[in-house]
Structure 1
Amino acid sequence: MTGTVIRVARDDEHRFSKAPQPAITLLAGLGVQGDAHAGVTVKHRSRVRADPTQPNLRQVHLIHAELFDDLAARGFHVQPADLGENVTTRGLNLLALPRGTRLALGTDAVVELTGLRNPCAQIDAFQPGLLKELVGQDEAGQPVFRAGVMAVVCQGGEVCPGDPVEVTLPPEPHERLVRV
């Protein structure tokens, strides 16, 4: 399985959307250099309030661009980096990958998927009604989160639009991604 990086972004402050960049640098064990969410311990405000010492399993946020295509068909205008992701890909269904999947981004960087992003109410402030499109229910009535995946950086390196994304699945049995 392979895909392509189509956009990279970062922001040194905790804002909803991130600023697109010509390249980002991933730092092993930390996240995106210069991003407000980089660090060994959790940086997301709600998680810091709950327990500032918990490990940062949300160092890098990735979304597949096919989500934006689907949202456009439903009347929403969402561009890469609008939902705060650091890396936007095309050609991979990130949500279907198991926990522990490794993604090689470009020539050096490697991230490992830790879970799903849980969309928050800020999404409706960005575009009313969008939250409902990003949180659904499966046939068993369980929530389905569509706002991307979270990862930790295993190996640092520069990531640019146009870089390939190579998938390495973890050993079986596979665990599905859950909210982190």
Structure 2
Amino acid sequence: MTVTAATGTVVAVSRDEGHHFSKPTHESIRLLAGLGVEGDAHLGVTVQHRSRVAQDPTQPNLRQVHLIHGELHDELRAAGYEVAPGELGENVTTRGIDLLGLPVGTRLRLGGQAVVEVTGLRNPCVQIDGFRSGLLKQVVGRDERGRVVRKGGIMGVVLTGGEVRPGDRVGVELPEGPHRRLERV
């Protein structure tokens, strides 16, 4: 792993025991190695996302932790959408790190102990328009070359557990190259 100078901050942490679109914020969350966020509906070794369970419940859970960059909330606000941390279903809202630009296998050190390995991009679905009409077009679009751009955050698995709180530092460790771009998981 290559440690980079990039550091950011945890803005908010969220979890929800039910399969709801939004997750309420909390003073802290506990990450459990190999499982995800304690008390969250997506906790588990195997996939917990309902549509994916219906396809194949034995798939590994590459979506244990969902992270969104707080800068997305700023961008959405500028487009006329008020969105607060946790409302897009993320467990960890960060600021100061280009999450979408990280390669697969990047390790994020959250707070004093927790380590999350980045597995890929969140693939926003039509439920997001149920939350705020028209929001899907804000978080999924196309770049100048016509490629799909997903801005709905990244997913990861917990390598090392620990408490995570707002105000905690986020350290970034890039994997050895060559780097693989994030794809939807």
Shared fold per TM-score greater than 0.5: yes
Trace 1:1-180 onto structure 2 (pairs within 5 A): 1-180=6-185
Q: Percent identity?
A: 66
Query: C-alpha distance in 1, partners of 2:146/2:11?
Result: 33
> In the TM superposition, what is the alpha-carbon distance from 1:138 to its structure 2 partner?
2.1
> In the TM superposition, what is the alpha-carbon distance from 1:139 to its structure 2 partner?
2.8
> In the TM superposition, what is the alpha-carbon distance from 1:165 to its structure 2 partner?
0.1
3-state SS of paired residue (2:123): coil
Query: C-alpha distance in 2, partners of 1:127/1:39?
Result: 29
> In the TM superposition, what is the alpha-carbon distance from 1:177 to its structure 2 partner?
0.4
Structure 1 ranges of 4+ moved more than 4 A? none
3-state SS of paired residue (2:25): strand
3-state SS of paired residue (1:123): helix
- Structure 1, unaligned stretches of length 5 or more? none
TM-score of the two chains, using structure 2 as the length reference: 0.96
3-state SS of paired residue (2:115): strand
Offset from partner CA, 1:83-139 (integer Å, 9 cap, x none): 000000000110011110000000000000000000011100100000000001123
Aligned amino acid, residue 176 of structure 2: P
Query: C-alpha distance in 1, partners of 2:170/2:25?
Result: 18
Provide the alpha-carbon RMSD of the alignment: 0.6
- Structure 2, unaligned stretches of length 5 or more? 1-5
Q: How many residues align?
A: 180
> In the TM superposition, what is the alpha-carbon distance from 1:142 to its structure 2 partner?
2.0
TM-score of the two chains, using structure 1 as the length reference: 0.99
Aligned amino acid, residue 136 of structure 1: G
